Amino acid sequence: MRVLEIYQSKQGEGLWTGRFSVFIRLLGCPLRCRYCDTVYARDDSDEEMGADLSPDEIVGRVMLLDMHHVVITGGEPMVAEGIVELTQSLKEFDYQITIETSGIRYQPVLCDLISISPKLKNASPTDNEPALQQHNKNRSNFDTVQQLILRYNYQLKFVVDTPDDLQDIGEYLSQFHGVVPERVLLMPQAVDAASMAKKGEWIQPYCDANGYRYCPRMQLVWYGNKRRT
């Protein structure tokens, strides 16, 4: 597996915000989101980026950090060969696992929380036509998201940039069965705590009115807009 980095930090988003965790960042993602904050983890073709590690080697490095909670992220970890074996190996040592995914591919992983971040129209790149075509080809897989919702403990995280996005979220959710409103998390698109708080002024009341959860990106508050390693 192509692994970019393994490090410890606090989970900054979602239902388990604040948990100290080991983060395993895998390389490679077929999406080209306009607001991606891990562009450096997209391309797995550069042999100088990261390292090829087996699932057992990854678990060995995780064990050195001595934490119970593991977050597998990317890139897009659900496109990685070996992701199922990695989760099996982690579960042999009773790790609690979160997987961050855009919901574009299903693999029968073992995890305690599947964190699904579907990409709305607001994620589409605006300045690169080849990237736009690649992104739109891969960004939606409703059957996969439905499987994940029905088979796993889940959260659905949506990035919200403008009020128009709220209608897109409603239309998107209407296509699924079994979605629990309190498992829907709306997260402001922002690169600093001040602009995040400003958008929260209209996102949070919308969440309260619809039974959703407001989801600030607490890493912006704790660490600022910088890579955490």
Tokens of 45: 């073709």
pTM (two decimals): 0.91
Determine the average pLDDT of the residues in 13-23: 95
Number of domains composing the chain: 1
Q: What is the pLDDT of residue 138?
A: 62
* Residue 229 within a domain: no
Q: What pLDDT sits at residue 110?
A: 98
Tell me the pLDDT band of 131, cut-offs 50, 70 and 90: low
Looking at residue 47, its pLDDT comes to 75
Q: What is the pLDDT of residue 219?
A: 87
Asked whether residue 28 is assigned to any structural domain, the reply reads: yes
Is residue 99 assigned to a domain? yes
Domain range for 184: 2-222
Q: Is residue 35 part of a domain?
A: yes
pLDDT digits (tens, 9 = 90+) for 54-93: 999 999 999 999 999 999 999 999 999 999 999 999 999 9
Residue with tokens 């550069």: 46
Is 200 domain-assigned?
A: yes
- pLDDT score of 157 more than 70: yes
Q: Is residue 120 part of a domain?
A: yes
Asked if 71 and 23 touch (Cβ cutoff 8 Å), the reply is yes
Q: Residue 227: inside a domain, yes or no? A: no
Q: 228 lies in a domain?
A: no
Kindly list the strands in the beta sheet with 213-214, ordered across the sheet, starting from the edge strand earlier in the chain. 51-52, 2-10, 20-26, 69-73, 96-101, 113-116, 154-160, 184-188, 213-214
Q: Distance between CA 185 and CA 90 in Å, rounded?
A: 27
Mean residue pLDDT of the chain comes to 91
Residue 133 scores a pLDDT above 80: no
What is the CATH number for 210? 3.20.20.70
Tell me: pLDDT of 199 over 90.
yes
